[in-house]
Structure 1
Amino acid sequence: MVFRSGSTAPEPPETTLQATEGGSPSVGVSPAMILLLATWVGLVAGWLDLGLMVVERRLIRGEFYRLGEHFVWLIPLGVAVLMLVPGTVLALIAGLRRGGVRPGMALGLLAFVGFLDICARLPLSVWASLVLSAGVAVQSARLAGARRRATLGLVRRTTPWLVGVLLAVMLAKIGGRAWSEHRATAALPPPPEDARNVLLIVWDTVRAGNLSLYGYGRPTTPNLERFAGRGVRFDLAFATSSWTLPSHASLFTGRWPYELGVGWTTPLRPGVPTLAEYLGSRGYDTAGFVANLDYCSRETGLDRGFAHYEDYPIGLYETFTRYVGLGHRTDLLGWACILERLAEGASGRPLELKPRSREHAKRGAEVDREFLDWLSWQQGRRRPFFAFLNYNDAHTPYEPPESSAPGFGLRPVTCRDRLTLRHWAGLEKAKLARNDVRMASDAYDDCISYLDRRLGVLLDELGRRGVLDDTLVIVASDHGEHLGDHLLFFHGCSLYRQVVQVPLVIVDPQGQAAGRVVAEPVSLRDVPATIVDVLGLNLEAPFPGRSLARLWGEDSGGARPSAEPLLMETDKPIVLMNQGREPAAKGPMKSLVAGGMHYIRSGDGSEELYSLRSDPQERVNLSGAPAAGGILQQFRAGLVTMIRKK
């Protein structure tokens, strides 16, 4: 056709425009464009993943996030990085394949993986998630194929904004934390002259009965035994609760759990003075390093007063297994077992893959490293420090951290063994083989032994640095553990001695009470009052309770005032680990120790009474004895009196 001068070409027909918009089916997108698509899909899916997580945890379930404070940027970043894995594969194919990869196919495959991650936050089965994600993938592929130019244009325009928002949130969180710590340390007043350091070590979930320090048949704690010879050992120390948060809250405030507002889904109540706050106001550098990420993290309120606090680790493995929805839902140990069997069948050689459980994201060695790294910085400041170290290695699923170290009995050998321990908390123990229960108990002892070895290494290093001789050291546990006694397992489910009697060792650097043993019952609630008393800082200290130093002082052999009853509490757990057999399933429980007896009252009003000295395993309930009526009445009245003090 010939066109006249000055005239314009006629508009192509609509079908031609659509063909141009959609592009030729044989023309693919470049590898760079595929990587951009993967980033875009990952960020969009990541922000949706974050939003669903917030809605599910806080608005629907009303509980802690159980993620570090950086989850607001780690989740979208993690999903974006996850999407780059299939994106890189597609980009390689596009680079090698003539004609590349069509945009519809690329976007469809990426959308499938991205939406599968979103589905992991929904209460859907695996098959439902796969079908739903496949449907989204097909529709995305059709859209990209029909409107190629518009789709790719949208990706090019919005990706920089998505990346910019992510970087802004990341820098705000990291910078805000660094600035907060700088302000806290810069505002410290001068410390007292000749002030001593304080190191509070808590072995999470370690019951006193399994420590050779207290006569256990296995040599689980030789290092703690040697260290206790330099200070005071308490033979009847009791936590204020049988699970982590209320026990730690009492340990930091000197108050009973009912005064603190803590619960399975509620943090420490604001306004209650903490030990870290008080020592910080006296010029101490304060730092916490915790391995129990569920109930010692910042969101529980236990970080209050600590200028430096390390809870959730930030790393590639941790991001994919804890923060990204798809990784959080995936049972890595189950897949590892499948790979082990396939590899062994192919090669004839055993292969052990041991993915770390979320419960043990931080082992004792990592807690030590974090503390020592901080201490290297702190020692140049010429200030006393208060450091809190929480170790979680003895908690379920009882994974012995050092398989090469000598053990005390059965150990997880097969993949089935490891799966049994990994899912221990949710298994019906009554249906397990006897050897499985024995293996869990033996592994628990192995974990305690590991904690003891770590303690020895840490104390040696502190001694080498010249720190130990100027540091008040307290070693304790927050609660114990049921290992089949009373037909119970786990903790937080009762107030029997197995879950409330804990180790307690206090070593004063002045060594005035070396080798002393305190036989009378004491409560961890008195630890804050004890610390400020030993440091000479008890004037106007806000901590109730009485200093335990009265029990090892020079006049400790004389008459002492009558001891206040020791209170212990626990609420009904969110999840019943014993399928309803646990006493706490009936409602909140309280117990008192006084006069050589242990009194327990369950939520349904039923009562139990045990002798501390003659019945350490609490096998004989004396509440029905004819002579117990008066004792029970005294305990009832004492419990009412203590609660009314609030």
Structure 2
Amino acid sequence: MADSTESDAASSNERDSESHSTVRNVVLVVLDTARAKSSGPKTSPTLTRLADEGTAFTNAFATAPWTLPSHASMFTGTYSSEHGTHGGHTYLDEGLRTLAESFADSGYETIGVSNNTWITEEFGFDRGFDELRKGWQYIQSDADMGAVVRGEDLREKLDATRNRLFDGNPVVNAANILYSEVLQPAGDDGSDRSTTWVANWLAERDADDPFFLFCNFIEPHVEYDPPREYAERFLPEGASYEEAAAIRQDPRAFDCEDYELTDRDFALLRGLYRAELAYVDDQLGQLRTALEESGEWEDTLFVVCGDHGEHIGEHGFFGHQYNLYDTLINVPLVFHGGPFTDGGERDDLVQLLDLPATLLETAGIDDPELLEQGSSRSLHPDSTAPPRDAVFAEYVAPQPSIERLEARFGDIPDRVREYDRRLRAVRTREYKYVRGDDGFERLHDVTTDPNERDDIAAEEPEQVRTLQRRLEEQFEPLEDADATGTVEMREGTKERLADLGYL
């Protein structure tokens, strides 16, 4: 009996050692605009396989409904009002420590591949990266023509071209604009070139250092233009690729009632969106293959998430601005490798800002400065961090601003003017409460109303008060916030934003 007990204890200690084992490399892949409700075996078989082999978090939430503030939270472990990066202030504060800086200081080679023009050195996201590649550039250049790509219409694109063409080498800049606006292959927004580059980089590197690799794949983002063979798998019966491709995709124009979309239009758009998820999922598979062929897969923590979701007709919206419904903040999150192997599903409430603490603990990195600046909690299976009983999200300032919409459309509908507000949300397992600095509020019982259709704030005033207190415990009272949702800009930021057409 004693021998059996000692054997059991030894096995237990061995298991504990394995569960605490660190990994050599860390790869973080963001599927831009991937929402949880559309991810699954049909659209995302590669991600599903990763989840089956690793750990899937089924209640993962972004801190914001669009790219810039969401990535800032992932990189720093802070909420939008803490990192101050949003539609009114688009630069990541240099005083905040980033995930890439932590890995770099721990001896990692740090590589970033961004296909979203917000995630560049122009907005402070290059800190800590040995190299941060821009997927929309045909020729890698420090002069970034991303403002052209971000232009809402032809006028903004032409203005950005005129303002930026001679910033550096005009020939290189012209080539990059021509590539991003005209010559980029149909059906691919950079993920194929990115996975090819990563595969070549992995095959050629001879460094002994571990690496941290960040990739942003933007295909699920508007405009949805998947390859025909993908689209035809997901379009409604009887619909043609040509019919779907002819639908105007201009979310801000739709918001401002510049054109209409029918229920059939949205059904077709949802088919295109699902096809984009399927296409980028195949690219995710290519990235895994590259890691396997380079011999790095078994020693790598591989993490995949969406940075925010998307409305495709839900709640009368198209795109991912102006609100905090779960359609925009509930995202897929999957871990594979290290202690997250054969971990099954976890349904605890988690946030994307939990990534820094989780990645660092799994890699065996101690960085008090990064962890103490924010609210990141490790999701490591053996973490001692307390589980969350609520998650939070913020929409600090409209993007694009109401003034920018007026410059483009002239008179805009009153319902759009209502979006000129600051929003905060708190979500528990039972309730979701959203409050605006203009007095707007909604309460939903997410157990019986997961699609957030029925506002029950008037019927449950005590629950409203309770969750309002939770918001004020997490953040300062909204009544004390600047009504515009802006923060004081650092020196030079106003000039940068003016150059980009935001001021």
Instruction: Give the direction of change, closer, same or farther, for the CA distance of 1:306–1:321 in structure 2 (3 Å limit).
Output: closer
Counterpart CA distance in 2 for 1:621 and 1:537 is 45
Shift in Å, 1:282: 0.3
Counterpart CA distance in 1 for 2:300 and 2:197 is 18
Instruction: Give the direction of change, closer, same or farther, for the CA distance of 1:424–1:636 in structure 2 (3 Å limit).
Output: closer
- Which residues in structure 2 correspond to 1:52-201 (within 5 Å)? 196-201=24-29
2:34 equivalent to 1:211: no
Counterpart CA distance in 1 for 2:414 and 2:66 is 17
Partner of 1:630: 462
2:375 equivalent to 1:545: yes
Letter in 2 for 1:525: L
Deviates more, 1:501-510 or 1:532-541: 532-541
Shift in Å, 1:375: 2.6
Residue deviations 1:281-322 (CA, integer Å, cap 9, x gap): 0000001101111x2122111111111001154438x98995
Query: Is this contact kept in 2: 1:246–1:263, CA < 8 A?
Result: yes
2:73 equivalent to 1:250: yes
Counterpart CA distance in 2 for 1:600 and 1:194 is 39
Match of 1:387 among 213, 225, 237: 213
Instruction: Give the direction of change, closer, same or farther, for the CA distance of 1:311–1:360 in structure 2 (3 Å limit).
Output: farther
Instruction: Give the direction of change, closer, same or farther, for the CA distance of 1:329–1:439 in structure 2 (3 Å limit).
Output: farther
Match of 1:426 among 245, 249, 253: 253
Counterpart CA distance in 2 for 1:249 and 1:319 is 21
Partner of 2:173: none
Match of 2:398 among 543, 558, 572: 572
Partner of 1:240: 63
Residue deviations 1:406-428 (CA, integer Å, cap 9, x gap): 521157644x7545345455234
Match of 1:311 among 107, 121, 134: 134
Deviates more, 1:588-597 or 1:271-280: 588-597
Partner of 1:601: 435
Query: Is this contact kept in 2: 1:357–1:422, CA < 8 A?
Result: no
Residue 212 of structure 1 aligns to a residue in which SS? Answer: coil
Residue 381 of structure 1 aligns to a residue in which SS? Answer: coil
Query: Is this contact kept in 2: 1:228–1:505, CA < 8 A?
Result: yes
- Which residues in structure 2 correspond to 1:210-289 (within 5 Å)? 210-212=38-40, 219-264=42-87, 265-289=89-113
Query: Is this contact kept in 1: 2:354–2:379, CA < 8 A?
Result: no
Match of 1:501 among 330, 333, 340: 330
Shift in Å, 1:573: 2.4
Shift in Å, 1:231: 1.2
Instruction: Give the direction of change, closer, same or farther, for the CA distance of 1:622–1:306 in structure 2 (3 Å limit).
Output: same
2:351 equivalent to 1:523: yes
Counterpart CA distance in 2 for 1:358 and 1:290 is 17
Instruction: Give the direction of change, closer, same or farther, for the CA distance of 1:267–1:517 in structure 2 (3 Å limit).
Output: same
Counterpart CA distance in 1 for 2:434 and 2:425 is 4
Letter in 2 for 1:488: F
Shift in Å, 1:483: 1.0
Query: Is this contact kept in 1: 2:97–2:369, CA < 8 A?
Result: no
2:473 equivalent to 1:641: yes
Instruction: Give the direction of change, closer, same or farther, for the CA distance of 1:535–1:423 in structure 2 (3 Å limit).
Output: same
Letter in 2 for 1:640: E
2:201 equivalent to 1:369: no
Shift in Å, 1:472: 0.5
Deviates more, 1:304-313 or 1:379-388: 304-313
Counterpart CA distance in 2 for 1:429 and 1:490 is 15
Instruction: Give the direction of change, closer, same or farther, for the CA distance of 1:319–1:359 in structure 2 (3 Å limit).
Output: farther
Instruction: Give the direction of change, closer, same or farther, for the CA distance of 1:450–1:359 in structure 2 (3 Å limit).
Output: closer
Shift in Å, 1:382: 1.0
Counterpart CA distance in 1 for 2:335 and 2:75 is 16
2:339 equivalent to 1:514: no
Query: Is this contact kept in 1: 2:111–2:213, CA < 8 A?
Result: yes
Partner of 1:33: none
Counterpart CA distance in 1 for 2:220 and 2:326 is 18
Residue deviations 1:248-272 (CA, integer Å, cap 9, x gap): 0000000011111212252111110
2:445 equivalent to 1:621: no
2:309 equivalent to 1:480: yes
Counterpart CA distance in 2 for 1:406 and 1:482 is 21
**Highest CA radius of gyration, 1 or 2?**
1
Instruction: Give the direction of change, closer, same or farther, for the CA distance of 1:425–1:417 in structure 2 (3 Å limit).
Output: farther
Counterpart CA distance in 1 for 2:189 and 2:338 is 29
Counterpart CA distance in 1 for 2:265 and 2:27 is 37
Instruction: Give the direction of change, closer, same or farther, for the CA distance of 1:590–1:603 in structure 2 (3 Å limit).
Output: same
Instruction: Give the direction of change, closer, same or farther, for the CA distance of 1:429–1:485 in structure 2 (3 Å limit).
Output: farther
Residue deviations 1:195-224 (CA, integer Å, cap 9, x gap): 5100000000111001125xxxxx111111
Q: TM-score, normalised by structure 1?
A: 0.58
Counterpart CA distance in 2 for 1:320 and 1:572 is 20
Query: Is this contact kept in 2: 1:287–1:387, CA < 8 A?
Result: yes
Counterpart CA distance in 1 for 2:312 and 2:259 is 12
- Which residues in structure 2 correspond to 1:283-432 (within 5 Å)? 283-293=107-117, 295-311=118-134, 313-315=136-138, 322=148, 328-329=157-158, 355=182, 362-377=189-204, 379-401=205-227, 403=229, 406-410=232-236, 413-414=241-242, 417-423=244-250, 425-427=252-254, 428=257, 431-432=260-261
Residue 517 of structure 1 aligns to a residue in which SS? Answer: strand
Instruction: Give the direction of change, closer, same or farther, for the CA distance of 1:194–1:603 in structure 2 (3 Å limit).
Output: closer
Letter in 1 for 2:461: G
Shift in Å, 1:402: 5.0
Counterpart CA distance in 2 for 1:546 and 1:212 is 27
- Which residues in structure 2 correspond to 1:6-85 (within 5 Å)? none
Bigger helix fraction: 1
2:290 equivalent to 1:461: yes
Counterpart CA distance in 1 for 2:23 and 2:343 is 24
Counterpart CA distance in 2 for 1:320 and 1:307 is 20
Match of 2:281 among 452, 458, 466: 452
Q: TM-score, normalised by structure 2?
A: 0.74
Query: Is this contact kept in 2: 1:421–1:440, CA < 8 A?
Result: no
Shift in Å, 1:391: 0.6
Q: Percent identity?
A: 28
Shift in Å, 1:629: 1.9
Partner of 1:585: 419
Counterpart CA distance in 1 for 2:430 and 2:24 is 36
Query: Is this contact kept in 1: 2:35–2:310, CA < 8 A?
Result: yes
Instruction: Find runs of 4+ consecutive structure 1 residues off by over 6 angstroms.
Output: 318-321, 357-361
Letter in 2 for 1:459: R
Query: Is this contact kept in 1: 2:109–2:209, CA < 8 A?
Result: yes
Letter in 2 for 1:208: A
CA RMSD after TM alignment: 3.4
Deviates more, 1:274-283 or 1:402-411: 402-411
Shift in Å, 1:443: 0.3
Residue 455 of structure 1 aligns to a residue in which SS? Answer: helix
Instruction: Give the direction of change, closer, same or farther, for the CA distance of 1:430–1:498 in structure 2 (3 Å limit).
Output: farther
Instruction: Give the direction of change, closer, same or farther, for the CA distance of 1:278–1:412 in structure 2 (3 Å limit).
Output: farther
